[in-house]
Structure 1
Amino acid sequence: MKKLTTLLLALLIQTICSQTASAQDSNAALVPLPSVDDFSRGKDGWSLGLGFGVEYETAYEGSDEFGLEIEPAGGLQWRQGDDVYFFAGEALGWRGVRANTWLFEALIGFDEGRKESDSDDGHLRGLGEQKEGAELVLQARRAFDADWRYWLVGRVVTGSDGNLGLFGVGRRFGSQNDGSGSEVNVVVVVHDSEYANKGFGITAAQAMASGLKQTDLSGGLRSVGVNYNFRSYVDEHWQIYGEALYEYFGSEVRDSPIARSSYEAEIGVGFIYLF
């Protein structure tokens, strides 16, 4: 009787594990990374996820002021095999997997710019306002194996205000293939002089209006950083996600009068409903 009970228990556990694996396979994301939105549940065609997130972050790049901000989350996607086309907020793009270990992404997004009113303490007074502008973002990740446990990442952001590059390594935690779990990335960020001066430079006219020292950056190392992403399914329709970011500026950026802090930080959490 004891042997029969043990056998039945083993069969029950095997059945549950098999069903879980099958359900997970049917909900396989394009890549099993929490930082990559995928609302397809492993199926081709249209998918939609809508929600919101609450972020506690610096008021602008280099600021020592922090505040809460509510942001929309989710987007509209169309999947065809290993390719996903998406519209999310102010970004329109494509991402695709090749050879199981390459993830490519291209999108057109918008830089929000900067307003003098972004600083409640008046630290941007006299610097004028930067208008919102379009940017092209190209990104590639190369996994060391098809399980996407470790990978290399490279990203280029280019627009009318200069160019930025990001290079790093990532690590995924958990064995799920539905996009849930967590991951961490360690990155190095570089920028050219035009992009550097957009955020941290001060022209002669701005110096006269603001009283700050005229500053002209040459480009190079912008920062080193680490970011953490988390995603979990509450049920069939609800996702909860979270992100934490810390970026430590290079010496040239820290020397700018605009950089009142040596780092930038952000933490956020949100919910997405899958239709």
Structure 2
Amino acid sequence: MKAHNYLLAAACVSSLFIATASAQEQSQVVVPLPSVDDFSQGEDGWSFGLGLGIEYETAYEGSDEFGFEPEPAGGVQWRSGDNTFFFAGEAIGWRGLRADTWFFQAVVGFDEGREEADSDEGYLDGLGDQDEGAEVVFEARRAFGADWRNWLVGRIVTGGDGNLGLFGVGHRFGNQIDGSGSEINLVAVFHDSEYANKGFGIDAGQSAASGLPEYQVDSGLRSFGLNYNYRHYINKNWQIYGEALYEHYSSEVRDSPIARGDYEAEIGVGFIYIF
């Protein structure tokens, strides 16, 4: 996820999900998972975190070229009980906890698109540039207990270029319930043909311009993936975080002339200062 209608979207989500905060003392974080940013420190109202990270990742989907890229971190959040509204980078959304074991999230953000210049070796020459586009992400996690040790996860990504679905299981390590520690998720990823061909298809015009053979990808399994997240609180104001991602493509994706590698991978580290 890398739009002037975002505030309207957030208002619509708010009208559906916001609840009055309880007079009782609430949890330090909405849900104790390292993959979920939470700067509230147990208080309702506004909170703000600012930081920077560095990622080492593939240049584009299917690439065998890797490089470093700086990434902003943090964001602005407003919490009311078990609901948080947030703005981070080019994404705006809502997340909330229900019945202690259900976590929901809705986000509007940007897909970065792809440019021919993303390949230093010229492997994308003739395929044309893909513009950024808005995407909507819906996510749900169902924990097997209120301690959020293990859970099921489902995510739907939809926009102007097809749909993608992710389904899997997760596990949190350690005993912390403040959002620090680490977690791992194992997932299967599916896409429809429109989404698949945006990244890995080659139409007749692209084939003529690039010299690559035409290729069409059907709906179905895209990949199996493994994602690891880590977060550590140095003190009340400073956090460090890390993330590693590995996605192994299905045989149909690997057969695309665009997919020069069998997988996509990235690793990132960074810090956040909470004001």
1:236 shift after superposition: 1.2
Q: Establish whether residue 31 from structure 1 lines up as the match of residue 31 from structure 2.
A: yes
Could you say which residue in structure 2 is the equivalent of 1:65?
Answer: 65
1:27 shift after superposition: 6.5
Could you say which residue in structure 1 is the equivalent of 2:161?
Answer: 161
1:26 shift after superposition: 7.4
- In structure 2, the gaps of 5 or more residues are 1-24
1:53 shift after superposition: 0.5
1:216 shift after superposition: 0.9
Identical residues among aligned pairs (%): 72
Offset from partner CA, 1:157-200 (integer Å, 9 cap, x none): 00010000000000001111110000000000000000000000
Read off the aligned partner of 1:60 and give its amino acid letter: Y
Could you say which residue in structure 2 is the equivalent of 1:208?
Answer: 208
Could you say which residue in structure 2 is the equivalent of 1:219?
Answer: 219
Higher helix share: 1
**Tell me, what secondary structure is at the counterpart of 1:41?**
coil
Read off the aligned partner of 2:150 and give its amino acid letter: Y
Could you say which residue in structure 1 is the equivalent of 2:114?
Answer: 114
1:235 shift after superposition: 1.2
In the alignment, the residues of structure 1 paired with residue 120 and residue 139 of structure 2 have an alpha-carbon distance, to the nearest angstrom, of: 35
In the alignment, the residues of structure 2 paired with residue 252 and residue 42 of structure 1 have an alpha-carbon distance, to the nearest angstrom, of: 47
- In structure 1, the gaps of 5 or more residues are 1-24
Read off the aligned partner of 1:52 and give its amino acid letter: L
Query: Is residue 26–residue 81 contact of structure 2 (8 Å, CA) maintained in 1?
Result: no
In the alignment, the residues of structure 1 paired with residue 75 and residue 66 of structure 2 have an alpha-carbon distance, to the nearest angstrom, of: 27
Could you say which residue in structure 2 is the equivalent of 1:44?
Answer: 44
1:145-156 aligned at under 5 Å gives the runs 145-156=145-156
Q: Establish whether residue 193 from structure 1 lines up as the match of residue 197 from structure 2.
A: no
With structure 2 as the length reference, what TM-score do the two structures score?
0.90
Could you say which residue in structure 1 is the equivalent of 2:263?
Answer: 263
**Aligned-residue RMSD, C-alpha:** 0.9
In the alignment, the residues of structure 1 paired with residue 112 and residue 248 of structure 2 have an alpha-carbon distance, to the nearest angstrom, of: 21
With structure 1 as the length reference, what TM-score do the two structures score?
0.90
Q: Give the greater-gyration-radius structure (CA).
A: 1
Read off the aligned partner of 1:249 and give its amino acid letter: Y
